Amino acid sequence: MRLSFLFLFLTILSWANDYESWLKKEQQQFASYKETHDEAFSLAIKKEWEAFEAKYILNPYETPKPVELPRLEEESKLDIRLLEDSPLVNVKISPPNIEKTSPKTPLPLLKKENRSLKTLNMDFYSHKISVSYNPHIGFLLTSVSKEAIANFWERFSKVDHQHLITQIESLV
């Protein structure tokens, strides 16, 4: 009996090791994939840009518009006898039924202590929101050029932003 438990335990342990090695390999492949595509995008930004002309005018009218607005030649008159002979209609207006619901209470966030994160506290429509973020996300563009955008992308693609995305998803 003990021998079968030992055999079963060793089999499960080997499967766990296989999974861990597979997971590490997949994460390394994804990291290298992301790095090569970020580098390719950065190089594409640094190349000569194609001039863009933003003066595209769409003319939706195929026939010309009238120069002068049309006017009604004669006014139509309403027959007052029709109004006097018609019966009065009583319309009952009932107030809408509004169901009162209690606001949802958000689940508390489990926070890991990370000294490199900064905290941003804000008041969003009378709701206190606290978000921690990596301070390296902020980057000031001094000019809009291909070099500035390429430098921004190189720096931004290397910053860990998953923690911020997780917090924003939990707020929504």
Question: In the chain, what percentage of residues exceed pLDDT 70?
Answer: 85
- Listed by start position, the domains of the chain span 1-44, 114-172
Give CA separation, 165 vs 111, 141, 161, 170, in Å.
Answer: 14, 22, 6, 9
DSSP alpha helices (H): ranges in the chain?
2-46, 80-85, 146-157, 162-171
What pTM did the predictor assign?
0.36
Higher-pLDDT residue of 171 and 38 is: 38
Adjacent-strand bridge partners of 131: 120
Digit-coded pLDDT (tens) for 79-121: 778 777 788 888 888 888 888 777 777 777 665 555 678 888 8
Digit-coded pLDDT (tens) for 2-52: 777 666 766 776 777 788 888 899 999 999 999 899 888 888 888 877 777
